[in-house]
Structure 1
Amino acid sequence: MVDVAFGSVPTPLGNVLAAVTQEGVVATAFRDGDRVRREVLDRLGVPAVDDPGRTARAREELAAYFAGELREFTVPVDWRMLSSLRRRVLGTLYERIPYGKVTTYGDLARDSGAGVPARAIGSIMGGNPVPIIVPCHRVVAGNGLGGFSGGDGVDSKRWLLTLEGYLPPTLDWDL
């Protein structure tokens, strides 16, 4: 039976939540709290368990990433609850776009071989259940940053891309 354990880590963007099954991280969120946890459980249709040990690696890697010490996540991702299209697109992103680099919605559509237009890629990025670890913030529009549904929207995307060195820091940048 599939179940999920929750853990969170304080970051400059708020408490980032990780939901972890026996197979790996199945969801992350830019906020933590009872409502967010219920939404994850409802979306997944699985029960929660109290297992801090299961979430330890995800929490450690997220903390190291936000501290600027981790460039590649090694914690496993549990892809089982995604449709084959989402798995194909998000898997391509996860495997091919490294820290500090970006791709466009159109290029990801082409590179994933998903057979969908760039607009559909934007929708898939907006529904990414594992943001940060599966780096949807690294997908940009051909003429700018594009949108972002995580955290505080485009401001969070800009912050993550600045952390990774893709964007230059602003005068008020503070890690």
Structure 2
Amino acid sequence: MPKAGPDANPIGAMHVAVERALAAATFATTILRPGGFDSNALGWAEDVRAGRPIELPYPDAELSMIHPLDIADIAIAALTGDELRGRTVSLTGPTPISFRAQIAALSAALGQEIQVATITPEAAREQMARTMPSIIADALLAVWADVAEQPQLPAETTETLLGVPARTFDQWAHEHAAAFTAG
């Protein structure tokens, strides 16, 4: 992730503004900061269904993606117990995984090879600007450039917080393979 902290890019800054408001609350709060979700891969589903390669500017960038059910389990623990009360917790999956490895996991889950095509950051920005504000596209590209150089290491996981193994991207890919098939 960017080395300067959560408010160093526009995505983090939006969340930090909410966190600051919660800090002023007169009641106890717990702030969960999940990083990239495994389910972000659903953005590739249309290309996979159409048989197109997944175009990425940094296919070997490694993020410690988190399974949405792990976020849910930790949120339940935060709401029903005292161990996380008053804490700000950065959540990740169990291990860094590259976009290329995520696509390989999807290929295995589907039983078909999905191609990866490397594109320039400029081409990626142009594509991303069709579906999100350019300031967000730029922030994502900056994060990916950072983790292409130095993988994002795991922070807190369901294992460190709850004592149960964190779910993997491979599990997520098998659970959601149908989203990547036509029909």
- The structure, 1 or 2, with the larger RCO (C-alpha pairs under 8 Å, 6+ apart) is 2
More helix by share: 2
More strand by share: 1
- When normalised by structure 1's length, the TM-score is 0.26
- When normalised by structure 2's length, the TM-score is 0.25
